[in-house]
């Protein structure tokens, strides 16, 4: 059978675009369809705009520090509208870069939603169909709201970048990295931030000691953080809303109409700790789900997991031999560089004849809280459940902010196997921890031992020198 394309990619995010370009460079005839904007979550409504917001939010403290260093500077008010315009211009530029890269690679672009008709056929939103020998699904994921009355009054992370005005106050619901990052960002921009999380500590799944320091520092910087707390009711500000949708204090059966025009409040919220307050905005950062709905996947024979993810093997292949999937839609490791690596491995396997499984072991990552958190490998808790370990750890006030009189603390931590001496985990809480963990991650991925770290001469004076100067374990387990 003759196909229209060798490869049709559904989804124009980082993983899909990379796979399309690399496959085209191997001589394949490739097309890609994206229903929203090229660049996907990371470039348009995730990593990139978020990191620019992190930069913007850090200047308030930096201006204050500068005065301690002798600079006669005064910070004015933050202008959200000016920043937002510049941000949107930059995102437009980046989307144009992605389009140019695809055009330059001779990848045909369809600005359209695409769904599966069968194992080799894609149907576009205008009703036309395209056939391909191989189909790669890279549709990513989306933020979800909790299942509760009036949840539509709360924003999700996508909405943050489209706010016309910066709220004076916000309630952020959730304890994962997205919730914590936006708490720090908005706090830095001058918003009064309250964060609630139903669990016992934020950043579940990360190293316990690092989580504790980050939560302490968030509170120190002004985030009103409450753990073991959730919301039980929310409604438009005014009389307030009961859980059944009726205005609190209103006659039984009288329902306040949903305000579909409300994006970000004001919203009245009642919490499990008994607090009832009005916030200019509510942000739900309570989870994400794969973009698999209404795509014809199951009809084409593609298995969908219980969380809506596409089930794939080690080579990103579904149960349908011609259909592959990469990135967040598979719900494996939901990070942009991982999606790109999965796309590269797919091309190696399918178009270069070099079967390449995806390596999801020892992936460095960063959480852009303030201070940042960089991590690779096992947490102390995971490691001690696996084998006997030693823990090398230090926490101190860094020179730069200590001089400015700030109480900030940083953490440097190595989790080491007693048997092999390999560094099983490295955890850094510090300014620029993301930059540090990228480099430390190389050593950990290579299997470096504690003695390899010890043999490395320190760079002084730096925060990161502590990684190679810790000589005695603080505890064993």
Distance (Å) of CA 322 to CA 8, 20, 47, 132, 300 = 11, 16, 31, 9, 11
Place of tokens 């910087």: 221
The set of catalytic residues is 460
Distance CA 352, CA 309 (A): 27
Distance CA 281, CA 362 (A): 38
Measuring CA to CA, which residue among 129, 308, 84, 272 is closest to residue 196?
Answer: 272
Measuring CA to CA, which residue among 45, 71, 44 is closest to residue 59?
Answer: 71
Distance (Å) of CA 377 to CA 143, 369, 390 = 26, 19, 15
Distance CA 229, CA 198 (A): 5
- Burial (CB < 10 A; 0-12, 13-18, 19+), residue 87, is middle
Cβ contact 420:449 at 8 Å: yes
Q: Is 364 helix (H, G, I), strand (E, B) or coil?
A: coil
Q: Is 161 helix (H, G, I), strand (E, B) or coil?
A: coil
Q: Which helix (H) or strand (E) holds 403?
A: helix 399-403
Q: Is 412 helix (H, G, I), strand (E, B) or coil?
A: strand
Place of tokens 């916030």: 279
- The per-residue DSSP string of 257-323 comes to PP-TT-SS--EEEEETTS-EEEESEEEE-S-EEES-TTSSTTTTT--B-TTSPBP--TTSB-SSTTE
What are the beta bridge partners of residue 185? none
Distance CA 95, CA 100 (A): 9
Place of tokens 């259909």: 323
What are the beta bridge partners of residue 155? 283
Q: Is the peptide bond before 266 cis (omega within 30 degrees of 0)?
A: yes
Distance CA 68, CA 195 (A): 30
Instruction: Categorise residue 377: left if φ over 0, alpha if ψ from -120 to 50, beta otherwise.
Output: left
Place of tokens 């006997």: 388
Per the structure block, which two tokens stand in for 303?
Answer: 């298995």
């Amino acid at each position: 059978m003759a196909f229209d394309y060798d490869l049709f990619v559904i989804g124009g995010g980082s993983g899909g675009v990379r796979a399309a370009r690399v496959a085209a460079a191997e001589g394949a005839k490739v097309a890609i369809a994206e229903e929203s904007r090229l660049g996907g979550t990371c470039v348009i409504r995730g990593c990139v705009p978020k990191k620019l917001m992190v930069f913007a939010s850090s200047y308030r403290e930096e201006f204050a520090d500068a005065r301690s260093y002798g600079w006669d500077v005064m910070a004015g008010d933050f202008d959200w509208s000016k920043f937002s315009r510049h941000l949107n211009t930059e995102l437009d530029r980046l989307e144009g870069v992605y389009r140019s890269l695809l055009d330059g690679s001779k990848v045909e672009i369809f600005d359209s939603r695409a769904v599966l008709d069968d194992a080799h056929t894609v149907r576009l939103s205008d009703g036309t169909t395209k056939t391909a020998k191989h189909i790669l699904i890279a549709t990513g994921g989306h933020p979800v709201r909790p299942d509760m009355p009036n949840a539509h009054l709360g924003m999700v992370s996508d909405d943050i970048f489209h706010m016309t005005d910066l709220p004076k106050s916000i309630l952020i619901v959730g304890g994962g990295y997205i919730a914590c990052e936006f708490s720090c960002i908005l706090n830095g921009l001058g918003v009064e931030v309250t964060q609630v999380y139903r669990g016992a500590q934020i950043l579940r799944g990360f190293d316990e000691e690092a989580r504790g320091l980050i939560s302490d520092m968030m509170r120190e910087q002004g985030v009103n953080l409450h753990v073991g707390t959730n919301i039980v009711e929310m409604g438009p500000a005014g009389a307030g809303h009961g859980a059944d949708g009726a205005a609190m204090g209103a006659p039984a059966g009288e329902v306040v109409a949903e305000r579909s025009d409300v994006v970000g409040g004001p919203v009245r919220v009642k919490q499990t700790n008994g607090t009832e307050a009005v916030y200019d905005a509510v942000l739900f950062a309570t989870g994400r789900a794969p973009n698999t709905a209404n795509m014809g996947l199951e009809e084409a024979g593609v298995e969908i997991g219980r969380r809506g993810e596409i089930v794939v093997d080690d080579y990103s292949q579904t149960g349908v031999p011609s259909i592959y999937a990469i990135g967040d839609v598979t719900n494996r490791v939901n990070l942009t560089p991982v999606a790109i690596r999965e796309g590269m491995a797919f091309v190696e396997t399918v178009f270069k004849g070099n079967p390449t499984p995806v390596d999801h072991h020892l992936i460095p990552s960063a959480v852009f809280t303030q201070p940042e958190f960089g991590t690779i490998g096992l947490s102390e808790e995971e490691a001690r459940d696996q084998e006997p370990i030693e823990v090398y750890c230090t926490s101190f006030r860094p020179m730069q902010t200590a001089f400015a009189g700030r109480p900030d603390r940083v953490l440097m931590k190595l989790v080491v196997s007693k048997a092999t001496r390999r560094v099983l985990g490295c955890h850094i809480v510090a300014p620029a921890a993301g930059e540090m963990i990228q480099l430390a991650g190389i050593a950990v991925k290579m299997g470096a031992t504690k003695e390899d770290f010890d043999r490395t001469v320190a760079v002084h004076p730096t925060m990161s020198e502590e990684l190679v100067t810790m000589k005695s374990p603080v505890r064993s387990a």
